[in-house]
A and B are shown apart, each in its own frame.
Chain A
Amino acid sequence: MKKLYVLLFCCLLLLSAASVFAGGQKPAAEKGKLVLWDVQTTGVLPGILDKTADDFMKANPGIELEMVHIQNDPFKTKLKVAMGAGTPPDIFHNWGGGPLKEYIDSGMVDTIDEIKSDLLKTYIPASFDPVTFDGKTYGAAYSGLTGVFFFFRKDVFAQNGLTAPKTQKDFIAMGDKLKANGVIPITLANKTKWPGSFFYMYLADRYGGADMFLDALYRKPGGSFEAPGYIQAGQALQDLVRRGFFPPGFNGMDEDTGQSRMLIFSKKAGVHLMGNWFIGQAKAESPETFEQLDLFPFPSVEGGKGDPTDLIGSPGQNYYSISVTCSNKAKALEFLKNFIMNKSFIDSLAGAGYVPPVKGASTYTTDPLMKKVALAFEAAGHVQVYYDQFLPPAMGELHKDLVQSLFGLSMTPQEVAHRHEQAIIEEMKK
């Protein structure tokens, strides 16, 4: 318990330091300071964002925009504490979905409806889906759209005489062949839990169709997390585990420290189910892999109701929202409207391998892999945002725990489905 308070105390200290800057110098006329928090600590995004912030400050002399880049997991706690204390940063990063909804319901987030019509001139409308609640919009995307695909090395596939599988049957044949040749068929680092959730979400989509999840979540008649599609998804997932397709001890390996992709880089594993940010990681960490990298969409399943073009991903991935305590909302809106997704910002994003969620995205990118991603988005029947970010937070956590247990073979597909169902019923009671 003491630990928690020490943690809290540290957060508070940091916060109070931040709020001295943020709130202490209330704008006198056009002077002032905006504080922005996000989670971009690696890769090229921090540089691109800092540059656009500099442009903003040049255009608005007297206004200082402080960009604070915080690591992903500490960020979540820090923001939560700041929100609870009523001193959030003026602009804050989020992924839309359930957690943002909590902040909105607690009256901590302002809408950006004032500038939405301007934003729609650039953005694709779908990019606002994860941040739109009851017809009001609460944020704007600031990076690329992301989809989850199977990535593989062309040289590894060639050595094993493989081609990209289109169906579950081909996929299993691929796995058997890789395994027979001493290659781990699928790499996975599931201590972090969300990488394993990708498999469950995709299999559920392929078996039960895109509406199965939405019907279950919004309690439509007949909608249930115990629908046959979910049971089949759980069974298919455990089948992959029982076949020994994953690395030993995968439930203890850490995605955040790259323990999954190391296996791809060293040619010890065949395929990697990951968001397309993996392309950037490969480029930075193993240029040799990047040269050989290719992707294929999640295979279809026999007798499944799902559209094989459906994607798991996010039409915006990273969003900036404005808090109600923002010291200068007009300027914050101006930053979102004129500096995020302006021409040079989009060019930098596209140049860095992102597919910005803007109209005609596939024409911006020249990289063949990114083009594939952009085209997959344009062709997708449905884009499902990650469950753990879409569901109410407590249930999102539970979902990840349950899928980890499913992978560990310590729960049956029926139990996992039943516990999801119980959790949603519990959430509805609120």
Chain B
Amino acid sequence: MKKHNFLAALLFVLPALLIYCFYFVYPIPASAYYSLFRWNGISPQKLYLGFGNWVKLVQDELFWKSLTNNLILVVASIVIQLPMALALGLLISSQLRGARLFKLLYFIPMMLSAVAIGITWKFIYEPNFGLLNGGLRLFGLDSLARGWLGEPRLALAAVIATICWQFIPFYMVIFAAALAGIPQELLEAAYIDGASPAVSFFRITLPLLRNTIRTAAILSLTGSLKYFGLIYVMTEGGPDHATELLATYMYKQAFTGFRMGYGSTVAVFMFLISFLLTVLVLRLGKREAVYA
């Protein structure tokens, strides 16, 4: 009987499982295999290099630069997006008047496609006619007007600001949902005991959100590590590779540069580092949970 159930279950899952295996699981070993060759992605012949691509990867300055930028993005995403999302989540789940309107407004970026966001922000950052510089000039702050996406020192920060704008609503909704799950009685009891709002936030709300925060951190971590969309639309990794990420670098190598083998090497590296960091964060989170 039990076996029968398993078969039935398998049958139901099978279509999804096949698609998952073919498009998400199979490419991982396939990429690892391609990473051993010099291959342009089209030709039937591949030149076996052994670990040649990996040696090249380690010596590739641009690869290290992409990795550094990527790690900056990871840290910035977690440090900026999560606290702001939590603050907004608290705001929209509060009883304040107009909270529902703000809920709708803050959620808008989530409903736009990355390309639309990228193009819009490109015009906001545009140095001569752009909204940002225009606003600065309006207030007499001409000296602060910059070519935001054109200066290597500013481009990454400018793009990260847009990425945060895009993703904060997503985490805001996650936090708002988790906040709705916190029993009101706990907060009321604390209030009766004379706890200030700050104390009840840090002593009750925050600890109860621990699991949600961990999930959000992992989503943000893996999402930032493989991030591609806005960067590609807004800067294509430039200027001078100032905003190059692993994913854009991989794409350029594999597709624009006709180096499928080397691009696959970068892809496999991305997989490994995402995997390792995720395991690490999960482990850390668990240990803390035990001591809490």
Contact B150 A401 (CB under 8 A): no
Contact A252 B24 (CB under 8 A): no
Give the chain B neighbours of A263 by CB distance below 8 A.
128
B247 interface residue per 8 A CB criterion: yes
CA distance A404 to B40 in the complex (A): 25
Residue in A1, A2, A105, A394 whose CB lies within 8 Å of B43: A105
CA distance A393 to B262 in the complex (A): 14
B54 interface residue per 8 A CB criterion: no
A247 interface residue per 8 A CB criterion: yes
Give the chain A neighbours of B40 by CB distance below 8 A.
102, 106
Contact B23 A253 (CB under 8 A): no
CA distance A266 to B129 in the complex (A): 10
Number of interface residues of B (CB under 8 A): 52
Contact A257 B42 (CB under 8 A): no
Q: Please tell me which stretch of B67-75, B203-211, B250-258 contacts chain A, meaning at least 4 of its Cβ atoms lie within 8 angstroms of it.
A: B250-258
Query: Which one of A106, A262, A263 has the greatest number of beta carbons of chain B within 10 Å?
Result: A106
How many whole Å from A325's CB to the nearest CB in chain B? Answer: 13
Contact A254 B258 (CB under 8 A): no
A249 interface residue per 8 A CB criterion: yes
Give the chain B neighbours of A266 by CB distance below 8 A.
129
Contact A248 B127 (CB under 8 A): yes
How many whole Å from A270's CB to the nearest CB in chain B? Answer: 14
CA distance A326 to B229 in the complex (A): 34
Given contacts A252-B148, A253-B150, A394-B257, contact A247 B247 (CB under 8 A): no
Q: Please tell me which stretch of B168-176, B184-192, B233-241 contacts chain A, meaning at least 4 of its Cβ atoms lie within 8 angstroms of it.
A: B233-241
Given contacts A3-B226, A259-B126, contact A252 B150 (CB under 8 A): yes
Give the chain B neighbours of A83 by CB distance below 8 A.
42
CA distance A405 to B145 in the complex (A): 22
Give the chain A neighbours of B254 by CB distance below 8 A.
4
A: interface residue count bin? 35 or more
Give the chain A neighbours of B147 by CB distance below 8 A.
247-253
B92 interface residue per 8 A CB criterion: no
Contact A5 B127 (CB under 8 A): no
Question: When each residue 384-398 of chain A gets 1 if its CB lies under 8 Å from chain B and 0 otherwise, what string results?
Answer: 000000001110010
Contact A4 B149 (CB under 8 A): no
Residue in A76, A105, A251, A262 whose CB lies within 8 Å of B255: A76
Given contacts A3-B229, A99-B258, contact A251 B151 (CB under 8 A): yes
A218 interface residue per 8 A CB criterion: no
Contact A1 B259 (CB under 8 A): no
Question: When each residue 225-249 of chain B gets 1 if its CB lies under 8 Å from chain A and 0 otherwise, what string results?
Answer: 0101100000110111100000100
Question: When each residue 276-312 of chain A gets 1 if its CB lies under 8 Å from chain B and 0 otherwise, what string results?
Answer: 0000000000000000000000000000000000000
How many whole Å from B95's CB to the nearest CB in chain A? Answer: 39
B119 interface residue per 8 A CB criterion: yes
B41 interface residue per 8 A CB criterion: yes
Contact A394 B238 (CB under 8 A): no
B98 interface residue per 8 A CB criterion: no
B197 interface residue per 8 A CB criterion: no
B50 interface residue per 8 A CB criterion: no
Query: Which one of A76, A77, A252, A263 has the greatest number of beta carbons of chain B within 10 Å?
Result: A252
Residue in A1, A5, A106, A251 whose CB lies within 8 Å of B239: A251
B267 interface residue per 8 A CB criterion: yes
Contact B258 A408 (CB under 8 A): no
Question: When each residue 5-35 of chain B gets 1 if its CB lies under 8 Å from chain A and 0 otherwise, what string results?
Answer: 0000000000000000001100100010000
Give the chain B neighbours of A268 by CB distance below 8 A.
128
A24 interface residue per 8 A CB criterion: no
A410 interface residue per 8 A CB criterion: yes
Question: When each residue 91-130 of chain A gets 1 if its CB lies under 8 Å from chain B and 0 otherwise, what string results?
Answer: 0000000010011011110000000000000000000000
A84 interface residue per 8 A CB criterion: yes
Contact B226 A1 (CB under 8 A): yes
How many whole Å from B35's CB to the nearest CB in chain A? Answer: 12
Query: Which one of A102, A103, A108, A254 has the greatest number of beta carbons of chain B within 10 Å?
Result: A254
Contact B119 A80 (CB under 8 A): no
B51 interface residue per 8 A CB criterion: no
B64 interface residue per 8 A CB criterion: no
Question: When each residue 121-158 of chain B gets 1 if its CB lies under 8 Å from chain A and 0 otherwise, what string results?
Answer: 01101111100000000000000011111111001000
A402 (CB) vs chain B CBs: closest residue: B240
How many whole Å from A414's CB to the nearest CB in chain B? Answer: 17
B201 interface residue per 8 A CB criterion: no
A177 interface residue per 8 A CB criterion: no
CA distance A253 to B149 in the complex (A): 7
Chain A 206-260 interface residues, beta-carbon cutoff 8 Å to B = 247-254, 257, 259
B146 (CB) vs chain A CBs: closest residue: A249
Residue in A253, A257, A411 whose CB lies within 8 Å of B127: A253
Chain B 35-79 interface residues, beta-carbon cutoff 8 Å to A = 38, 40-44
Question: When each residue 20-43 of chain A gets 1 if its CB lies under 8 Å from chain B and 0 otherwise, what string results?
Answer: 000000000000000000000000
Give the chain B neighbours of A249 by CB distance below 8 A.
127, 146-151
A69 interface residue per 8 A CB criterion: no
Residue in B38, B41, B123 whose CB lies within 8 Å of A80: B41
B102 interface residue per 8 A CB criterion: no
How many whole Å from B247's CB to the nearest CB in chain A? Answer: 6
13 new A-B contacts at CB < 8 Å, known A250-B127, A253-B149: A1-B271, A2-B24, A2-B226, A3-B229, A76-B256, A77-B255, A103-B42, A106-B44, A251-B150, A251-B240, A253-B127, A394-B259, A401-B240
19 A-B pairs with CB atoms under 8 Å apart are A1-B31, A1-B267, A3-B226, A3-B228, A80-B255, A80-B258, A106-B40, A106-B44, A191-B150, A249-B146, A249-B151, A251-B149, A252-B127, A253-B149, A393-B256, A393-B258, A397-B252, A401-B240, A430-B38
Interface residues of B (CB under 8 A from A): 23-24, 27, 31, 38, 40-44, 119, 122-123, 125-129, 145-152, 155, 226, 228-229, 235-236, 238-241, 247, 250-260, 267, 270-271, 274
Interface residues of A (CB under 8 A from B): 1-5, 9, 76-77, 80, 83-84, 99, 102-103, 105-108, 190-193, 247-254, 257, 259, 262-263, 266, 268, 392-394, 397, 401, 404-405, 408, 410-411, 430
